[in-house]
Structure formats: C-alpha cells, structure tokens
Structure 1
Amino acid sequence: MLRPEILRDPAPVYTAWRENDPFYWFEELGTWVLTRHQDCAAVLRRLDRFTSDWRRLGERVPDELVMLQTVDPPEHPPVRRLLTAAYRACDHVTLVERTSARVRRLLAGVEGRTADFVDEVATPLTVATICDLLGVDPPDPGWLRRVSPPVIDTMDAGLRPEVIPAGLAARAELDELIERWMTEHRPGGMFSYLAQKLPGAGLDRRLVLNSVRSTFHAGFESSARLLSLALLAFTDAPGTLPQFMRNPESAVEEVIRYTSQVQVLARGCLADTEVGDHRVRAGEGVTLIIGAANRDSAVFRDPEALRLGRSPNPHLGFGRGLHACLGAGVASMQARVLFSELAGYTMVRREGEPAMWDSGTLRGVRALPVTLGRGGDPACATPTDR
C-alpha cells in the first residue's frame, strides 16, 4: 500500500481485492479487510457490535489517543453534543465570506506562474479557515509543517509501529497549543464557547481537549488533502473542472467519493456478528477500505469516472453514524468555494507528476506544481500535463 505507484492511484489494487476476495483475513495484523460498500456501511452502522474504542477489547490506548473518534457511548455523545453546539454557535455566514475572500487572494497570488498548490493554496487556506472557526490566530506555518506529519504517520502504526513515539510527541506539542488557545482566543469562535461551557459540563477535560486537538488537526490536514487530491483528479480528467458550476453541491460530493482522502477506518468486534455472508468473532479487528467501498460498481455506476452530477451518491467519505466527521460541512464548503473560483480559470495545468505522502490511511498530495491563468472562455479549459 505504501509503494509510490499505489499511493498515486490505489483504485486498481482495491478493485482487485474487491473482485477476488472482498472479505479476507489479514493474518499479519489480525484483522478482516473489507472492500465492498455494503459490508463497510453495515459495520459503521452497528455501534452495538463494532467499536472504535479498543480499550473495550482489552488493548492499552495511550491517553493522547483517547478522543471523540476513539470513544463510544456513554462517553461519546456528551462530548459530541458540546463540540456540535460550539460549532453551531459560530458565525458561518461570515466564515464563508472570509473563506471566499481568502480563496481569491491566494489564487491571485499564484496566478500566471508555476506554484505548489499544496503549499501555497490548499494548506494556508485550510489552516486559516479552521482557525477562523476556532476563533484563534494561526500558528507558525513552519512549526505546523514539522509537527503534523508524525501525527498522520501514526495512523499507519499497524504497518509501521516505529512511528508511534514521534506521533505521540507531536500530539504533546499540539496539546500545549490547545491549552494556550483555551485562554487566548477571540470572541465568537468554538474556543470562546468551550471556555464558557466546559468548566460546568461535567466532562473529562482531557477527552474534550484531545477531541478539539483532533478537530483542529483534521480541519486543516484532512481538508488540504481533499482539496489537493481533488485538483489532481481534475487535471487527470481534462474538461471536468469547467463543469463544476453546473451543480457545485453535487460536484463536491462526487469529489469526496472519488478522492476518498480517508482511505481506511478500523473497528473492533464486540460480539460474534454476521456481516453479509461472513461471521466476525468477538475480539477480531475489521479494517474498512473506504477508498474501495467508494469505487464499488455494485453501488456506483461507472465508479472509476469522475462524474460531477452523480446522484444518488451514498459515499462513505466522511464516515457514517455516530463517528461521522464533525467538520464535514466546513470541508465541503471550502471545496465548493475553491473550485467554484477555479472553474472560471481558462488554464489549470499540472506541471508534471505530483509527489504523494507515504500514508496508506490518509491519502494525500505532498506537492502539486500547477500553473493557473485567466482569459478567454472558461469552457475551453483543458487541464493537462506538460
């Protein structure tokens, strides 16, 4: 999964797995690997049988990793309610306006020259947007570039356990930032709400702050990967980007399905359970290949094509159920704003091959050189390689 050609395009491997053995036992990691949409969706729905909290199966989980995404009821619902309330209390109209203005500034700054879309557009955009939502000043970009990758690396810890110490150390640095933001924030953001409500909420403070740390980190890292993978997909499929404005909401959903930046989710089985025509026994792991489920031809017609008007589109890109992505709305908003603007460019050209992150769980582009230009009829835009 970490070979360069597979990182660039894992779809052929996923298709082979799904067609040859869509529900197979991976002895090395002690887990079932599921690649069909119906099986992955079934596991995500069954909170009574499949857990995100490996402590319930007797495993030791470092305190740094106990957060909203890794706990189940009864711990999960009150923390999610608090964060959801903080999210809803923000001024989302102003957030969209600020994001739109920022997109225009960032694109104007790279127009007419070759630029790294990841470093000069996607990352600064998503960092600024999540900080606007939280109501804080963005941290130093160089510091973020140093601490973020080790956190992502730990998502592949099953394949590379040696990355765990560096990942925990990076989280500790992020924790210091979160603690500082609890007192150093602006009115109107999520931190302002949390600072008022958390002291009397009766919740585990460490669990809440770990969850906020994850919200911040995913808010820029996962979102930037979505945007960069989306632009890569558009340059791989000449002529698709100008179609974006026909239905931006539908187009964003298709981009999420097609790119699937979150490639893998893991669950543990709490009690013997039938999933499709297979039995999963208590204590066994289940690895859901979301990237494969989102290309399942049993659910999606012509799944290898980027079809911006696809409907219905029951992708699993943001998960399902209780553990669905809290920030899905903001991630989708940024994609809608950015590509609505880019759809008006007459030239969106990729300058050679991208550099990919070596992550099997959170897929992403590390560097994506592009040239942007305006003038003429946007309908004639043809993103191509040089």
Structure 2
Amino acid sequence: MNNANIRLNLSNYSQKCTSCRTLVRRDTLQELQQMFVSHDGRPLKSCKTCRDNRALKSGGRPITRTSYDLDGHYDTHDEFIEGVSSFLEQHDDHKFDLAAQSMRIRAVLSTNTFVETDVSMTDCAQTGDRALQTRAAMLLRNDIFDCTGYYFQSRRCTEKNDEIKFSFTCSRSTERETERDPLKIQRYTIAKEFFDCRGLLHIIISKDNGSAVIVYEHRGHTETPKFHVTDEVRSYIDTHKLLSPRQIYQNLIRMAYDSQFEETDLHTITRQQVYNVWLSFTRMQWERDPTNDFLSAQLLIGERDGYQLVDGLQEQGVSLAFVTPCFSDAVNYDRAKMSEIFVDSTFNTNKHGYELYCVLTEYDLVSLPLSYLLLDTRGIREEGKRGSRLTAWFTALRDAGLNPKVVHTDKDFAGA
C-alpha cells in the first residue's frame, strides 16, 4: 500500500458534471474552469456541453410560454438548485422591461428531498410541526435568492386540511414600496429602486404525500444587492469554523435581528457567501492540491501517520480506498482479535456523489474503523463495475492480514 507516485496518469484536470455524470477532462485548469462557469462568472455544477444541449433543444430562444416556462420535478436539493439556476442563466438577463411577460416557474421536490441535513419534506408533512415547516419554507426562499438574485419577503401563511402554503413578494416590487412610510424608515444604505415586477413566490408543502411545490412568478430587473460580509460576520464564522457551513448559515439567519447585526441586511446573506468565508478559514487544514480534489485527498491521506492508500483502487473519479491506523498498526492492534467485522455504506454525503463504504471491527468492546472506500461507478459501462471493485477492496484487506470469521452487512452485493 505505497502512496508514492500518485501523480501518475493525472496529467490533466478533471471535474464531474452533475448533469451527464461524466468526468470532464481538459489539459489546463483555465480550460476546465470555463466549462463550469456561467456567462457572469458564477461557478456551476453542470458542464457547458450539457447547458448548450439544453439551449439547443429550445432552439436557442426563450422557451415558448405555456402554463410554466419551466416545470421541473427534482429528487434532490442539488438537482433543484442546478435546474433552476441553469434555466435562469439562459432566460433572465436582469433587465427590466415593463412590456415583458412574467417568467413562471414550477419546481416540485419529491418526498425524500432534504432541504437541510435535518429538514426533509417527509418530516414537514408527517410531524405537522409549524416551526419545522416554516424553517423549510425560509430555506427554500433563500435558495430562490441564490438562484435568481431576487429576495422575496414573507407575506402570509395559509393552511388547509391537505397543505400549508407560504407566500412571498419580491422585496423590490412597487407593491412593497407603497406599504412603507418613507418618513418612518431609518436608513443605513442607499435607497432601493423599485419595479413593477409583480414578483410572487409560493411554497406549498403537501401533508398527504410530503412533496413541496415552489411556484415562482416574476418580471426580471436588476438583482437585489446581497449582504456585504462584515468583520463581525467573518469573526463569527472564524470562531465557529468547526461547525458545518450549513449550521453556521442557519445560526446567522436566526441571529439576523440581534442587536449586533441590527444595522445590516444579514437576513439576505446566502449559503454560498457563508461557505466561501468558511472555506477561506479552513481549506489550509485539508487542501493539498487546489486544482484536483482527488489528488488533494490522496496527498492528505499520505501525509497522515498510519493512513495508507490501497493499491489498485486509486482511479480518479471512480475509486479511492485507504486503511486507518487501527489496521496498519499491527503492534497496537492485533489482527487475530479482529474475528468479526461489519460493512456499512452511505450515500449523498459529498459534492461529487461518491458512495462511501467502511469496514469496522469490534475490538475490546470498542468499534474501530479499519478501512474506507469512496466509489462512484456511474460513469463506467462494464459488467460488475461495482462488485469487481468491492471484491478488490476486500481482497486487499485479506491479503494484508484481515481474516474474520464473521462478516455482518445489510447490503446485498449479489447484483453489484
């Protein structure tokens, strides 16, 4: 399990497209970056080829108006964000035209969609917890802000026997302007410009099937200015950098009306802004190659005492396996006592979509992780593509001295 020469066969740059599920390779970093940015420089998860193909299907023109300009069904939160963002990149130039039709979008999130790690559509429907439902609606509202550049303010919430509906209006709508008394506004920023945009957003959570329907209707205009990250916010993120970016974001949204932030528009901060600041504080701890996530992971594993890469399972974009000190340190951990092991796996835990497998053992009444395997075979077309790599992983562990008498797993590997 030698981690030397791990740069072999990695002479080009690559990134996985979440739309076509293939690994996009380019000779230079600049060429690769151009494949995954919008026309205004925003990073995207789908490649330019997929976006061009979608535009080609619509003839390169705005989609003919039917009931909705975009009517999409999404199984994951990432698919929803990517679908709406990609569509608006093509069809919203952020220029106000009073004669233009309002753009209408409907997005349906399936029952199993997680808006946050602890907020699912199923929980919102089954528990009947109004606080949880409100939190989900506000998170989805903020997602729309991220995707569109328009901030929507809460208007009302109505509940029926089979659904709960949250309604919002665009913060730059003339309707909002007429509701405000200019003499009572204590202003800390430049006065806003308002538009007759007729911006409406409805988030409907079904109590019957647990799905969520997002209905967006809006006439485009200049984007709502996003929150300027202040020193106080940067300090808070730095102090809490051991938390996940999502948790920090949730905390900041809850603190938006605290006295220390009362002169700011903290409620308009986006997840991406929080993530970017958090990343600037933490990336030095784990990033070893800024141009290649796979190589960066290999280098990080290689420099840690007792962690070793597993030969034969170092395929960029497909597999990465390694063992922990609990397995490599034969002096402190007697492999003869590892007579019973457990194989577990999890999914949707990382941005590249790898499946994560782990082999654990019970050692002196303590569970110890022995080895991990990151695996993604979606872009491979061959018989037994997953099974052959799992077999190679187990074989490597056996050859290195792991010979259990009992193996526990809740997975059926027969059809892998």
Q: Same fold (TM over 0.5)?
A: no
Look at both structures and tell me which one has the larger radius of gyration over its CA atoms.
2
Query: With structure 1 as the length reference, what TM-score do the two structures score?
Result: 0.25
The structure where strand makes up a greater share of residues is 2
The structure where helix makes up a greater share of residues is 1
Q: Which structure carries more relative contact order (alpha carbon 8 Å, separation 6+)?
A: 1
Query: With structure 2 as the length reference, what TM-score do the two structures score?
Result: 0.24
